[in-house]
Amino acid sequence: MKTTIIYENKNYHIDLSQPLDVSIPITGKKDNVNAWYVKAPTIEPHREANFTGSILAGSSTNFYDISFNPHAHGTHTECVGHISKEHQSVNQNLREFFFMAEVITITPLENNQDLVITKEQLETALKNKKPKALVIRTRPNLEVKIHRQYSNTNPPYFLEDAMVFIRELGVEHLLIDLPSVDKEKDGGELLSHKAFWNFNGDIRLRATITEFIFVSDIIIDGPYFLNLQVAPFENDASPSRPVLYKIK
């Protein structure tokens, strides 16, 4: 279904029947994408006394319990509550769900035995563009990302000045295909999280970071219309489903 959307007083033509889903689902399987040293999520029939919530087990309905950690088990969107003493809910802070987004691709660079994303790389990829939402795909971009077990692997991360650049550019919603914007083991410094939310200044309560996306190579770099769908959990982070649409 082709439609015209008016966004910030401009008309954009998109086809709602051609969504480009960049989320990784929670499956309840052992090969579910995972990070932060937690067990795999579980999705299983509820059991109580003589009741098992499965039609195959004789129940009239399927009635499943789900156990997962939003930060560890799939695509999720988080707010500053992830690093603040004060409770902040992404469900309360994210008030809009449609944005103009820019997709860029970056190959992290070696730096002191780490792989990092730098300010200079972002400047080159963005070419003076100032999107409200920024979607970053990293190379190599293999489908194994959908099932990768990231714990104790020291994945790529953002240098602090790179995240300051993103914030000063005016990006309010950052989407990445990594488990975190910070180094896996950084002693709790969280420099890039803090830089993005301007944690030591005027905190950006409405800004979000979405981690664990997967941007297929069929999606080329450039501008898209983004629908950022977030499950309404009153928590610092929630499972989410970012969907891109080509702009005609």
Q: Is the dihedral of CA 89, 93, 95, 99 positive or negative?
A: negative
Model pLDDT, residue 106 = 98
Question: What value does the mean pLDDT take over residues 25-45?
Answer: 97
Q: What is the identity of the amino acid at 168?
A: E
- Cα–Cα dist 163/83, whole Å: 16
Q: Using N-to-C axis directions, what is the helix angle for 119-126 and 160-169, rounded to 10°? A: 40
137-191 confidence digits (pLDDT tens): 999 999 999 999 999 999 999 999 999 999 999 999 999 999 999 999 999 999 9
Work out the pLDDT band at 220, boundaries 50, 70, 90: very high
Work out the pLDDT band at 19, boundaries 50, 70, 90: very high
Question: What value does the mean pLDDT take over residues 15-41?
Answer: 96
Could you tell me the CA-to-CA distances from 181 to 47, 156, 170, 174, 186 in Å, in that order?
A: 39, 8, 17, 10, 11
Tokens for 191? 């420099």
Q: Where are the beta strands (DSSP E) in 139-205?
A: 157-158, 173-176
Q: Is residue 1 pLDDT above 80, yes or no?
A: no
Model pLDDT, residue 77 = 98
Helices (H), 94-176: 119-126, 160-169
The β-bridge partners of 214 are none
Tell me what the pLDDT averaged over the chain comes to.
96
pTM for this entry: 0.96
**Please, what are the domains in the chain?**
2-24+70-246 (3.50.30.50)
Instruction: Map tokens 């489903």 to a residue.
Output: 241
Q: In this prediction, what percent of the chain has a pLDDT beyond 90? A: 95
Q: Which among 99, 96, 98, 89 is positioned nearest to 232, based on CA atoms?
A: 89
